[in-house]
Each structure stands twice: as C-alpha cells, then as structure tokens.
A and B are shown apart, each in its own frame.
Chain A
Amino acid sequence: MAEKKRILLQGNEACAEGALYAGCRFFAGYPITPSTEVAEALSVKLPKAGGKFIQMEDEIASISAIIGASLAGVKSMTATSGPGFSLKQEGIGFACLAEVPCVIVNVMRGGPSTGYPTGPGQADVMQARWGTHGDHPVIALTPAYVQEILFETVRAFNLAEKYRTPVMILYDEIVGHMREPIVLPEPGEIEVVDRVKPTCPPEEYFPYDERYEIAPLAAYGEGYRFHVTGLNHRQDGFPTNDPATIQEGIKRIIRKIENNRDDIMKNEEFHLDDAEICILAYGSTARSGREAVKIAREKGIKVGLLRPLTLWPFPEDTIREVSKRARVVVVPEMNLGQIVYEVERCADCEVVGIHRVDGEPITPAQIIEVMERYK
C-alpha cells in the first residue's frame, strides 16, 4: 500500500481538520488573533461537508450559538483567544451546568487584556479551570504538535459527547501558527464518539435522569420536548430551590468527570522511569522540555518529561507517583506561575518553576540551566 500523503498544515488548520473528522457540523466564532485561522478554515470546509459556519457579532454570541446548535443535536465548536476566552466564560458555565456537549478552542496569547496578540502565552490555564463562576467540572486538553492538535481535537469532541460537558482545547500561539507535515486520518481510523440519545418514550424522558451518571441527551425537534435552563434544576430539567437537589446536581456534574479520570487523563512520559529530575510541561513549552531532556541525557543528567495532554482534570496521581522517585519537578510555563502551584499541591519533592511572559518561548537552554543546579 502506498504511504499516506503528508501535508503541511498549520496548527489551527489541523484543529479545523480534527473538528471535521470528529463530526463537528456547526461552528460559531468571532475573529481574534491568534485563533482566526480555525474559523477561516471551517468557513470553507464546513459548508462543503453540509455543515454551518457563522461569524457571530461577538464572542458571547458565538459560545451561545454553539450551545444552541448542540442542543439541536449538532456537534459544535467555537475558537478564540485571550480576551474572547474571558467573554465566553459565562456561556461555558451554562454548558457545564446544563450539560451541553461542545468544544471551545483557546489559542493562548500574551495577556492580560489585549496584551500581546501575536505572541504566545500560557497564562489562561487557571482561567480555563476556574474562569466561569461557581463550582463546575472542566476538561482541558493541551496538545503541542500539529498532528497532535488534530488527534486531540477529535478526542475533545469524543469527551464532550461522552460526558455531556464543554471541553476546552488549550494551545498557544506557537503551536497554533506553526506548520508541520501531518497525515490526515482515514475515516474509521480513529474512534469518533457520538452522544447517547434516549430510546425511552418521550413521556418517560428526563434530560438529567438521576438513574444515570450521564443521562442520554435528546435533540430538539425529535419528539422529546424537554426543558433546559441555566438554573439549578431537577432531573426533569425544571428549576428547583430544593437544597438537597441543588447540591446533588452540582456534585454530580463534578463526579461524572472525577469518576472517569482513567478515561479522561492522558500523559506523555519521556525518560521518566529513572528520572531524578522531572520536567512537567504542557503545550509548546513541553517541546522545549523534551528537547532539554534529549540534550541533558547526552550529558548524563537523569532527567525525564511528564507532559499532560489532559491538563484538567489535573494529573494529581501521576505527579504524586513521579515525585516519589524524583528529587525535583521543574515546571516551565509561559506565565508567572500557575500550574506550578498545582504541582506543589501534589508533589512529594521540591518544585521549581521557570516562567516568562515576554512573548518569547522558554528555551531548552533555560530549562537545562535550572536542571544543572539539581543534577
């Protein structure tokens, strides 16, 4: 069989390809650097696939429209960057509470505020976790390679559909704008998950049926005339003021993610088995970390990389495990310290951060310099 054709794609274009592969047929967005190419690509490709692309009047309208489209039964996505991600937070909370599957891409740039639109950043990772108000579950994926963006976009849709929850894809400007040769998967080559739909008669249908951890989700217009609200609700979807029902409802949406960590978590481990120094890095910074491991190993330094591809929920157990063997966990990130504190919370050893917010990447040399102190 002939070798599959490689094509050179930008990270943002790969994200669009991943969305199409996963069955996304609705995208609503608003132009913003450095994520715009996702929208541009889908504005061309979605109609060809019979799907819909709409450029909404703002970021809030975009998140709102994808939630509406998803409730009508269509896999939906939006993509944005920094300021737009801030604007979408209320809608993300709605999707969490109303349990509406959707995918939100945040191509991270420098912030706060308008910040540095054309430069990379990783300072939205805590906002991804806690950006919307109230207690809520979060799944956030952090791909670092162009091919991986495609695969992780498919995984984001799969997780969103499976767990009836918004899933975020966080990658930075470097990965979003870089081009690498990739291979487009054939149909059927990677698993595509569709939401579970009800099979019961409409009169017996509850959109938040308490018998399930994750209840089947009907689509509007298919005979199940159900109600969805952003208010705390009962299993039938209607608002409630009952304290026990309110608390149980919130706990359940968190539990459905926590109970399925084994399925949701994904890490890359590189030379970790005998590592005395562990680099924990995600996104483009992990590429620097991997390079640093390769260089340091040649010098005989026992160093390894732990790269979460699922950043939220946080890989607490893996870090605990790794930190039992390692002397130090080094956390490079393009912010002034966010994930490093999460690592501190979990690690049984010293934790040291490497941080910069000047719009330049953290280099392998910078990481090696820190590691030299711990060899």
Chain B
Amino acid sequence: MAGRYEIRFSGSGGQGMILAGIIMAEAASIYDTKNVVQSQSYGPESRGGASKAEVIISEDPIDYPKATSIDCMLAMTQEACSKYYKDIKKDGILLVDSEEVKNVPEGEFSVYTFPIIATARDKLGKTIVANIISLGIITELTGIVTRNAMEKAVLSRVPPAFLELNKKALHIGFEKGLELKKG
C-alpha cells in the first residue's frame, strides 16, 4: 500500500462513531503494523448532532492528521452524510445506512447501502452494535485491515459480557461486506 488511506466514520453523537474510529486505528496500528492517526470532531452535545471520526492509515509516518481526500466514508445519518460526503475522493467508497440516509449523494464514488441499524436491532436485538457491523462491512469493502486484526481490535475494546454479541455483529458485517463487494 502506498500513501495515505483515509476513512471517515460519521453519524450522530451516541452512535459510537468515535469508538469505531478508535477500533479501526487499533486494528491497523496495533494488530496490523501500519501507521495511523485517529482524530475526531464533535459539537457540544454528547448525544445527537453530527459527529465524525477519521482514521488515516499509511505505511509511512503520517504528518498531516486530517482527512482531505477520503477513500472510504461511513454515514449513519442523513445530516452527517450531507455534511461530510464532499471530501470523498474519485473512486472512493461511501457506505450509508439505507434506512437513515434516504437522500444518497451522487458523485464519482461507489455507493453501498445497507440497513445497518435495522440489522443490529432485528438480528441482535441491540442497535448499539451497529457501529461494529459497520466495521465488519468496511473491513471487507476496503481490505485496508485484515479480518484477524479487526476482530482482535473489536474484542479488546468491548467489555467481557458483550464479547459474543460484538463478535456476532462483526461477522454479520464481514458477510454483508463480502456480499456488497460482489454486488
């Protein structure tokens, strides 16, 4: 891999976007051995509003820490999608929650839609793990981290009581990611 790979996780406060960013950063830097910078921006509210977390992954040392030319973006709400999609680069990837984002932006990037939150609710009974499903999908769509690294990263970040739940969520993500990639 040459140069920078930029991922943006966006949604509203409380959806675990920053945690998703941290897990992605740990997968890439601790369990794989790349360089990463993870950053976030958020408003005054802990819940609601538009929040985003960014992860830059590179074989080389990373200086500029913010995303400017995004390889992959996740949008969990319409507000975040509309606010943040413009930095997606040509041939980049946009993954949206199909129930939340009805007005999917158009551009020279690939769009993948999937009812992420609904899947978390219907299949696992917990919308809280929607972010983990997203991580599974993104792992497959981008290939930027290995499945193994991502699984280790997820499991090291969640409380013991929720290991199985998160593992299931991640694997649902992996499967859906593969399906989406195949088209």
A and B touch in the complex (CB under 8 A): yes
From A77-85, A96-104, A174-182, A254-262, give the one contacting chain B. A174-182
Whether the pair B40, A287 counts as a contact (CB closer than 8 A) is no
**From A7, A117, A118, contact of B30 by CB (8 A):** A7
Asked if A284 CB lies within 8 Å of chain B CBs, one says: yes
Whether the pair A291, B64 counts as a contact (CB closer than 8 A) is yes
Majority SS at the chain B contact face:
mixed
A166–B5 Cα distance when bound, in Å, is 41
Whether the pair A8, B29 counts as a contact (CB closer than 8 A) is yes
A42 CB to closest chain B CB (Å) equals 20
For B66, the chain A residues whose CB sits under 8 A away are 174, 361, 363
Whether the pair B30, A8 counts as a contact (CB closer than 8 A) is yes
Task: Give the interface size class of chain B.
Answer: 20 to 34
Asked if A122 CB lies within 8 Å of chain B CBs, one says: no
Knowing A178-B37, A178-B38, A179-B22, the reply to whether A284 touches B68 (Cβ < 8 A) is: no
Asked if A6 CB lies within 8 Å of chain B CBs, one says: yes
A291–B41 Cα distance when bound, in Å, is 21
Whether the pair B35, A291 counts as a contact (CB closer than 8 A) is no
| Residue on B nearest A270 in the bound complex, by CB | B63
Whether the pair A179, B38 counts as a contact (CB closer than 8 A) is yes
Whether the pair A8, B41 counts as a contact (CB closer than 8 A) is no
A283-294 near B? 1/0 per residue, CB < 8 Å: 010011011001
Asked if B125 CB lies within 8 Å of chain A CBs, one says: no
For B63, the chain A residues whose CB sits under 8 A away are 287-288, 290-291, 294
| Residue on A nearest B60 in the bound complex, by CB | A294
**From A118, A181, A284, A365, contact of B35 by CB (8 A):** A181
Q: Which of B38, B39, B43 has the most CB of A within 10 A?
A: B39
A7 CB to closest chain B CB (Å) equals 7
B56-70 near A? 1/0 per residue, CB < 8 Å: 000000111110100
Query: How many residues on the A side are at the interface (Cβ–Cβ under 8 A)?
Result: 23
B132-160 near A? 1/0 per residue, CB < 8 Å: 00000000000000000000000000000
For A177, the chain B residues whose CB sits under 8 A away are 39-40
A156-183 near B? 1/0 per residue, CB < 8 Å: 0000000000000000001101111100
B59 CB to closest chain A CB (Å) equals 13
B46 CB to closest chain A CB (Å) equals 12
Whether the pair A287, B29 counts as a contact (CB closer than 8 A) is no
A29 CB to closest chain B CB (Å) equals 20
For A364, the chain B residues whose CB sits under 8 A away are 64
Interface residues of A in 264-314 (CB under 8 A from B): 284, 287-288, 290-291, 294
For A361, the chain B residues whose CB sits under 8 A away are 64-66
Interface residues of A in 101-150 (CB under 8 A from B): 117-119
Asked if B36 CB lies within 8 Å of chain A CBs, one says: yes
Knowing A290-B63, A291-B63, A361-B66, the reply to whether A181 touches B36 (Cβ < 8 A) is: yes
Interface residues of A in 198-253 (CB under 8 A from B): none
Whether the pair A174, B30 counts as a contact (CB closer than 8 A) is no
A107 CB to closest chain B CB (Å) equals 14
Whether the pair B64, A287 counts as a contact (CB closer than 8 A) is yes
Asked if B25 CB lies within 8 Å of chain A CBs, one says: yes
Knowing A179-B38, A181-B30, A291-B63, the reply to whether A8 touches B25 (Cβ < 8 A) is: yes
Whether the pair A6, B29 counts as a contact (CB closer than 8 A) is yes
Known: A118-B42, A178-B37, A180-B35. 18 other contacts (CB 8 A): A6-B29, A8-B22, A8-B38, A117-B44, A174-B65, A178-B38, A178-B39, A178-B65, A179-B25, A179-B38, A179-B39, A180-B37, A180-B38, A181-B25, A181-B29, A287-B65, A361-B65, A363-B66
Give me the interface of A with B, judged by CB distance under 8 Å. Answer: 6-8, 117-119, 174-175, 177-181, 284, 287-288, 290-291, 294, 361, 363-365
18 contacts between A and B (CB under 8 A): A6-B29, A8-B29, A118-B41, A118-B43, A175-B65, A177-B40, A179-B36, A179-B38, A180-B29, A180-B38, A181-B36, A284-B65, A287-B65, A288-B64, A291-B63, A361-B66, A363-B66, A365-B68
